[in-house]
Structures are given as structure tokens and as C-alpha cells.
């Protein structure tokens, strides 16, 4: 059951990260509002930073859950 909950949580998390990335890819630019439009390079860097930042946060969270789970299992013995 724990594995299924973890898979669903990971799927939801990476779905959210995907939405953030899609927002950067599909972001509209309105030059009439005197807003500086991002270049393709700036969008690519933002997309990569969102992806790798999200992956790092996911990995650290998973590592913390594994450590806590092992600690709780030791106390049960």
C-alpha cells in the first residue's frame, strides 16, 4: 500500500512539475504592455532549472521518507 501511495504522489508531483514546464514553454508575451519578452535561451534555462530543481526536491523528500521509515521499523523490533 505504501508503494502505491508513493507512486500516486510521485505522479501528481511530476504532473505539477510538467505543468510548470508547459507554462514556460507556452508562456505568452505581450509586447504592448512594455513587458520584456524572454528569449528562447531564458525559457530553456528556466525549464531546465524547474526540472532539475523538482527532481532534486523529489529525491531529497524520497530519501527523507526512506530514512524515517527505516528508523520507525528499527523501533518496532
For 26-43, what is each residue's pLDDT tens digit?
877 777 887 788 888 999
Question: Is residue 76 predicted with pLDDT exceeding 80?
Answer: no
User: How many domains does the chain fold into?
Assistant: 1
First to last CA, the chain: 21
Mean pLDDT of 1-12: 87
Domain that holds residue 18: 2-76
For 50-67, what is each residue's pLDDT tens digit?
999 999 999 999 899 889
Confidence label for 11 from pLDDT (cuts 50, 70 and 90): very high
Distance CA 74, CA 52 (A): 33
Distance CA 8, CA 72 (A): 22
Please report the sign of the dihedral spanned by the C-alpha atoms of residue 56, residue 59, residue 65, residue 71: negative
Amino acid at each position: 500500500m505504501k508503494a502505491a501511495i508513493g507512486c500516486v504522489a510521485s505522479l501528481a508531483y511530476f504532473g505539477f512539475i510538467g505543468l510548470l514546464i508547459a507554462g514556460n514553454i507556452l508562456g505568452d508575451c505581450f509586447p504592448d504592455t512594455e513587458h520584456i519578452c524572454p528569449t528562447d535561451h531564458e525559457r530553456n534555462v528556466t525549464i531546465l532549472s524547474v526540472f532539475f530543481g523538482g527532481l532534486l526536491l523529489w529525491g531529497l523528500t524520497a530519501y527523507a521518507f526512506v530514512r524515517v521509515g527505516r528508523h520507525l521499523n528499527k523501533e518496532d523490533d
